[in-house]
Amino acid sequence: MEDLALEARNRAGNKFKSGLNCSESILHTYNELLKHPLSPEALKVATGFGGGLGHAGCVCGALNASVMVLGLFRGRNDPGHDRKPAYDLAHEFHDRFSNEYGATCCRVLNQHEFDSPEHLRRCLKLTGGTAKLLMEFIKEKNLLDESFSVSETA
């Protein structure tokens, strides 16, 4: 399944190159790979997370979208359900991302001017790398064996 992590990286990178932002690229990629659990309307939630929350430079949009994806596996839709499983996954992936890239803040990860060629190149690398890191994490946690199957030809 190493090729699945590379597939996630390549798809997310291609989506970023096509004009989606970092957050949109991750969420759209995983929506395809997980056989479309999210509607086209639901995918719109990712847009404002690009640029570290609307170019505010805060938490990386690729990281935010990754936590959204993890929520598909461990999120809750009822306040009576335990939120700890989702929090634990989010916290662990946050730490994995931080260890991989040295920070989680967009303005620290990418110090180039927003939308400059250098900025876009760095975001492309971060977006693809995060998609790969997320699939490796999902596989490590055996999340695919639970309720989702993966489409490699989406």
The Cα angle at residue 26 between residues 110 and 109, in degrees rounded to 5: 10
Query: DSSP string covering 80-106, please?
Result: TS--HHHHHHHHHHHHHHHHHHS-SBH
Q: Count the neighbouring beta carbons within 10 Å of the beta carbon of residue 15.
A: 22
pLDDT single digits (tens) 34-86: 999 999 999 999 999 999 999 999 999 999 999 999 999 999 999 999 999 99
pLDDT single digits (tens) 80-138: 999 999 999 999 999 999 999 999 999 999 999 999 999 999 999 999 999 999 999 99
The Cα angle at residue 100 between residues 25 and 130, in degrees rounded to 5: 10
pTM over 0.75: yes
3-class SS of residue 23 = helix
Query: DSSP string covering 35-76, please?
Result: T--S-HHHHGGGGGGHHHHTTS--B-HHHHHHHHHHHHHH--
Write down the domain spans for the chain.
2-140
